[in-house]
Structure 1
C-alpha cells in the first residue's frame, strides 16, 4: 500500500541528508567545469600518462604478485570498464572515468591517482576481467537483477532481501567460502550493470540501485548485514560515482539505527546518494525517479513481467484528483467487437474507484463492471464491447489531500468466445 492521507510514525520516510546540492553541483560542472576542476583533470591525465608509459602504475605494492615490470606487461593498453586509460589515445570515455575518481576524492589529484591505482591492482587480484563468465552454485536471478531504466535512462538494479528463505540464506552465508562467493557474485552483478552504461560526454554513465528491505518472517539477517557492508565498502573503493542513487524501500525501524552506525564507513558524497523509504511511501518516492510504466507492480506501478498487453513504450497519463473531488477517465469506443484493456496506478490511499460501461443507445442498460470500493496500488481490467459506448472509470478522493492516478488503455479486436465454441 502506498502513501495515504494520514501517515503514522511507522510509515514516515527516514530522514536523510539531502543530495540536491551535490546533484546541482555535478550538473553545473558538466555544463561548464570550473577552472580548478579542469586543472585537476589535466594534472591527473599527465600523472597517469607518465605512470602508464613508465610502467610504474601498478608498482610499489606490498603484494609482489601484482608488481609489473616492463619485461612482463605493457601498460599502454590498460583499460577500465572497457575504456582505455592512456590519455594520449584520445578516447572520449577516458576523461569520464577520471572525473568519477576525481569527484570521489574531491578533486585531490594525488589521492585520486592512488585510488585509481589501488582499484586497478584490486581488479587484477580479484580477477574481475573474467568474472562475467563465472557460474555460481546458487541461482540469484530473483535476488539481484536489472529491470528497465529511470526517467533519465539510468539502469535500475534491484536487490531483493525478501527473496532469501531459510534454505537459500543458509546456502549463501553458511560458510566463509559461500560468503566469498556471494561477494564475487555481487561484483559480477555490478560489472553486468556497467555493461549497460555509456561512458561518453552526455551519456548515461551511472545506475540506480533499489534495495527492498522487506525480509522473510523469522529470518535472522546478521550475516547479510555483515556481507552487505563488505560489498558497499568494496564498491565505494573501486566503483566511484557508478551509483547515481541508492534507494532502500520497505525499510524497517532497526535500519535507521543501523544506517547511522554504518554511515561512519562511507564518504559524505556517497552518503548523499542514499534514500530510505518506509512501506507507505514506496510508490510516491519511486515516482520521483521512475516513470509509472517502469515501476514493478509489486511496488504499486504498472510494469508486469512478460506483459502481453502493454509494451514498455506504452506511457501512462496523469490524473490529479483534488481533495474531496470526483474525477473520471472516459474511454470512448465507436466500433463494437473490441476488448478495451486499462491499467491504473493509484498513488495514495483513501480513494474509491468503480468501473462501468455506458452504451450510446439510450435504450441499453449501463453495465457495472466493478462496483465501487477502496483501492491502492495498481489495477488492471478489461471489458468486451458489443455496442458503441464508453468505459467510465471513476475515482473518488475522500481525503484532505490531492491524489494522483496514472492510467493507460488500449483496444484490440476480439472474437467472442461463444463464436469460437460454436464454429
Structure 2
C-alpha cells in the first residue's frame, strides 16, 4: 500500500520582573479588582543573543577573558551541563561550548566578570547539592498526572528552539493542590520534577556559537490560582534565574487574564528593554494567532491541540509530523478547501483547526463523473469557540473525484487563522 499526496495542494477559494518582591506585591494588590479588557503585547525589538566571538564588543570580550582567568585558578574542575569551563584544563581547551555557557552568566550580570564568576560558582554548588546532573534520568514517583499538563517540552519553533509549555490551572482543584504541593516536602519534590523538565530541555540545546542555545517558554495563565501558587512560583523563579541564566529566548504568555495586563503595565518601567523584548502577551482569543500566525513562532503541526494546533500527545514520538498549511479566513468569508485527483478506493485523512472557531464546517465528496451524486461526508455543523480538538476524519472514496472541506465564517466579522493538513493513501494494487 502506497501513501502519497493528492495531485494538487488545496487552496482557499477566492470566495519576569526585576524584583520578585515587587511582582508578588503587585499580584496581591490586583487580586480583588474587577475584570477589564485585555490587549495583545508583542515586542518588535526582539533580537536573539549571539554567541559568536566576532559579534562581541571589546568590553564584552574583555569581560569574557576576565571570567576565564578567574576560572583558570580554580583548584577543582568546573563543568555545567557537561561542558568543562576551566580554560586551563585539557577538556576545556578549544571547546566552543564553554564560550556559550560563560556568555550566559556574563549577560545575566551585565558583563561584570566578578559577579558572573560568583553566580557561576553558586550554580555549580547548587547543582552538586541538588543532584541536577542526575535528575533528568530519575523516575520521580507521583507526577504521572502532571506529565504533558503542567510543564512539558513539546516540539520546536520555526527556528529550531525547543518549546516548553507551562500551565498551572490544574491546581485550582484543591485535591490536586494538596496532593502535589500540600506541604514543604511535597513542594520540594515538585521542584525536583520541575527542574527535571528544564534539564531535559537543556539537553535539546546545542550550546554552540551560531547554534540553538535557548528555549521558548509558553505559559498558560488560564485558571491559575495566584495565591495558592505563590510559594511554588517564587521558588521556581528563583531557581531558574539563579541557575539557568539566559536559557529562554522568548517568554510567551497566553490566556492572559485582565490583572496580568495591569501587572505588566505596572512593572514594565522596572524592566530593561532587552527583557521586555522577549515578552509576548496574548489574551485568550489570540492564542492560536499568537503561537503560529501573528508572531510566526511555532508551526501548527507542533502546537498542542488545546492551543489551536494539530499536535496530539504522542504525535512527535513517531518522527517529524506532516507539515500543515496555514491560511486566514476573513470576517464574512467562506473558504472551500479542495483536494483533487483522488482515485477510487483511495483513503483521505485530514485535520483542520481554526483559531477562535465559531465557524460552520462541513465536508463533501464530489465525484468526477457528472452523473454521480455528491456525497455528504460530514453534515454542516457549528464548531463552537470552546472546541478543544481539531477536526479529524478519514474517508474512503468509491470513485474518482475530489474532497471539498468548507469553513464558513460569514456570521462573524473577526478574521481568524486556520491550519489544515491531509494525505491520500492510494488503493491497494
Aligned counterpart, 2:376: 368
**What residue is the counterpart of 2:339 in the other structure?**
331
Alignment RMSD (CA, Å): 3.0
Unmatched 5+ stretches in structure 2 = 1-34
What is the CA distance between 1:80 and its match in structure 2?
A: 0.5
Q: Report the Cα distance in structure 1 between the residues aligned to 2:269 and 2:187, rounded to whole angstroms.
A: 23
2:79 match: 79
Q: Quick one: distance in 2 between partners of 1:334 and 1:135?
A: 48
Instruction: Give runs of ≥4 in structure 1 deviating > 6 Å.
Output: 28-31, 260-268
1:46 aligns with 2:69: yes
Q: TM-score, normalised by structure 1?
A: 0.79
Aligned to 1:23: 47
**Structure 1 residue 90 displacement after superposition:** 1.8
- Number of the residue aligned with 2:13: none
Distance 1:281 1:149 in 2: 20
Give 1:121 shift. Answer: 2.4
Equivalent position of 1:123 in the other structure: 127
**Shift, 1:291, TM fit:** 0.2
1:412 correspondence with 2:420: no
Task: Provide, for residues 349-389 of structure 1, a one-character-per-residue CA deviation record: whole Å limited to 9, x for no partner.
Answer: 56443321111111111112233344466322222200111
CA distance in 2, matches of 1:395, 1:98: 51
Pick from 192, 213, 220: which aligns with 2:221? Answer: 213
CA distance in 2, matches of 1:395, 1:242: 40
Higher relative contact order (CA 8 A, sep 6+): 2
Could you give the per-residue CA deviations for residues 214-256 of structure 1, whole angstroms, max 9, x where no partner exists? 238xxx5523122112211221111111112222222223444
Contact 2:41-2:282 at 8 Å conserved across structures: no
Q: What is the alpha-carbon distance in structure 1 between the residues aligned to residue 331 and residue 157 of structure 2?
A: 29
- CA-CA distance at 1:407 after TM superposition: 1.6
Alpha-carbon distance between aligned partners in 2 of 1:231 and 1:306, rounded to the nearest angstrom: 27
Give me the TM-score of the superposition, normalised by structure 2.
0.78
Matching residue within 159, 169, 179 for 1:162: 169
| Counterpart secondary structure, 1:211 | strand
- Quote the Cα distance in structure 2 between the aligned partners of 1:180 and 1:169: 14
Deviations 1:261-319 (A, max 9, x none): 788998764454333322211111111311000011111111122459x9633101233
The alpha carbon displacement at 1:174 in A equals: 1.5
Count the aligned residue pairs: 377
Larger gyration radius, structure 1 or structure 2: 1
Tell me which residue corresponds to 1:285: 290
Mapped to 2, the partners of 1:166 and 1:374 lie a distance apart of 35
- Is the 8 Å Cα contact of residues 356 and 367 (structure 1) preserved in structure 2? yes
1:301 & 1:311 partners in 2: Cα distance?
17
Which of 233, 246, 253 aligns to 1:248? It is 253
User: Which string of whole-angstrom CA distances, capped at 9 and with x for unpartnered residues, describes residues 106-165 of structure 1?
Assistant: 222222222212222222333323333444442132422211111111112222213333
